[in-house]
């Protein structure tokens, strides 16, 4: 794969791959009594690992026999096309602003049953596009075609794009760099998401320094997970 090491695809026995399977299982358990098909991934700030997390989770879901659409909604800094070596001429922005049909813009990746809708040409008004009725129509169309629609949202700070779409999807997973993001900041961002109406499924602690598979992440996707871990000192810990 170009641009991104899809460890869940390239190394099935790696402890990190097992960590992504744990996330997959947690999401499946979270679906008891409700349908979770459109799942968005965001973070407090850039470079916390949300794009890596959502891409590898998409891979392990396909390994379980599911069809997955990976949707790049980080329209100010789209990366899905780079990570998977895809064209970005047609993408989400053209589907919304130009009326390009979903099936004309979606591309197959090198992973079986994993498809991608790239961000497309960077628009001047991402928040307006993400909050549009056309965006809702695209999500509804996608959920009728695929088992899961995984959405790579932009970070919550410093723009409002993630808040606009977070309230529309079935659930939001909050990816946090455990070595960099302070607890108070994470709590503030979590509160912003909840006030915007987002259904926060849980928290992925990325870059956790542990000797087990949680070297990549530790996750809790349950009702109790809506409380951010306090950790020690000023940093979030596993």
So what's the pLDDT on residue 209? 59
CB 80 within 8 A of CB 86: yes
CB 177 within 8 A of CB 43: yes
| 221, pLDDT greater than 70 | no
CB 38 within 8 A of CB 85: no
| 230, pLDDT greater than 50 | no
For residue range 116-148, what is the model confidence (pLDDT) as tens digits?
Answer: 999 999 999 999 999 999 999 999 999 999 999
Alpha-carbon distance of 181 to 186, in angstroms, equals 7
For residue range 159-177, what is the model confidence (pLDDT) as tens digits?
Answer: 888 999 999 999 999 898 8
Distances (CA, A) of 92 to 122, 187, 218, 238: 10, 30, 31, 35
Q: What CATH number belongs to 7-226?
A: 3.40.50.300
């Amino acid at each position: 794969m170009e641009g991104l090491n899809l460890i869940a695809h390239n190394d099935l026995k790696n402890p990190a791959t097992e960590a992504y399977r744990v996330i997959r299982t947690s999401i499946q358990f979270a679906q008891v009594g409700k349908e979770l098909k459109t799942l968005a991934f965001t973070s407090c700030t850039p470079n916390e690992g949300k794009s890596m997390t959502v891409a590898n989770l998409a891979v392990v879901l396909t390994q379980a026999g599911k069809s997955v659409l990976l949707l790049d909604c980080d329209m100010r800094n789209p990366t899905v096309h780079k990570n998977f070596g895809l064209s970005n001429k047609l993408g989400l922005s053209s589907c919304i602003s130009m009326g390009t049909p979903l099936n004309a813009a979606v591309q197959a990746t090198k992973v079986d049953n994993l498809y991608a809708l790239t961000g497309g040409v960077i628009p001047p008004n991402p928040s307006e596009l993400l909050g549009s009725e056309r965006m809702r129509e695209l999500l509804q169309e996608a959920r009728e075609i695929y088992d899961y629609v995984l959405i790579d949202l932009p970070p919550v700070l410093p723009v409002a794009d993630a808040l606009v779409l977070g309230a529309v999807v079935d659930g939001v997973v909050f990816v946090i760099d455990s070595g960099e993001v302070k607890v108070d900041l994470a709590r503030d961002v979590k509160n912003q998401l909840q006030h915007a109406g987002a259904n926060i499924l849980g928290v992925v602690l990325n870059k956790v320094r542990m000797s087990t598979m949680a070297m990549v992440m530790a996750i809790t996707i349950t009702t109790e997970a809506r409380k951010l871990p306090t950790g020690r000192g000023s940093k979030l810990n596993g």
